[in-house]
């Protein structure tokens, strides 16, 4: 849903910055890599130290790189520059998707590490790992479907929704939100991810039937 309704808005916001970066020979791949590193540092350094709010702000700032690199790749200026590399777009898509899995894993791992240790909530730690596992399956089902020539862009909990919900409530937890609220949100998110896996599998099954 967010991919459909919010991407256009953020594309308009980030286009001036994207043009500025392309004009200075910054590539979409560079932005993708820097964004992933920033997310992983925020998630695997700040979260395990208990800096949930600050960590979320850092992660959110670098998550926008995921929108910025795509905006850069669609610019006529970049397409003209990469015209001699017909595989550039496919490689960029592959790199972006692969590093997204690292970023997502780092976020849920960082939450789990904190709550398994000083955060003192095994339940939240387990729920976070469940979200990480089911979220990876959501992504895998789509990738496998596309390798078969099918479309699997359906479901109630796509990556954008999972990120927004997770970061919002983890950040609020850093400001004093009771732990049971985060636990409930993560349980619902895991359930929504499981439903999304089922929706995508049925969608692909219908296409292959």
Active site residues: 100
Cβ–Cβ under 8 Å, residues 40 and 102: yes
Please spell the DSSP secondary structure of 94-139, one letter per residue.
Answer: HHHHHHHHHHHHHHHHHHHHHHHTTT--HHHHHHHHHHHHHHHHHH
In Å, what is the CA distance from 139 to each residue of 29, 100, 144, 159? 21, 10, 9, 8
Which of 122, 27, 123 shows the shortest CA–CA distance to 68?
27
């Amino acid at each position: 849903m967010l991919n459909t309704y919010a991407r256009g808005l953020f594309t308009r916001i980030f286009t001036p910055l994207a043009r500025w970066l392309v004009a200075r020979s910054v590539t979409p791949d560079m932005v993708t890599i820097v964004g992933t590193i920033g997310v992983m540092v925020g998630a695997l350094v700040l979260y395990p130290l208990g800096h949930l709010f600050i960590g979320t702000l850092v992660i959110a700032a670098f998550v926008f790189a995921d929108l910025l690199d795509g905006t850069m790749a669609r610019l006529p200026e970049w397409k003209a520059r990469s015209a001699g590399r017909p595989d550039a777009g496919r490689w960029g898509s592959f790199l972006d998707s692969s590093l997204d899995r690292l970023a997502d894993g780092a976020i849920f791992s960082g939450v789990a590490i904190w709550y398994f240790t000083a955060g003192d909530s095994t339940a939240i730690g387990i729920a976070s790992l469940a979200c990480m596992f089911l979220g990876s399956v959501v992504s895998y089902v789509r990738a496998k479907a596309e390798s078969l020539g099918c479309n699997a862009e359906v479901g109630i909990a796509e990556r954008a929704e999972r990120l927004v919900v997770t970061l919002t409530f983890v950040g609020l937890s850093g400001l004093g939100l009771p732990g049971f609220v985060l636990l409930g949100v993560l349980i619902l998110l895991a359930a929504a991810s499981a439903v999304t896996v089922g929706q995508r599998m049925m969608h692909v099954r219908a296409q292959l039937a």
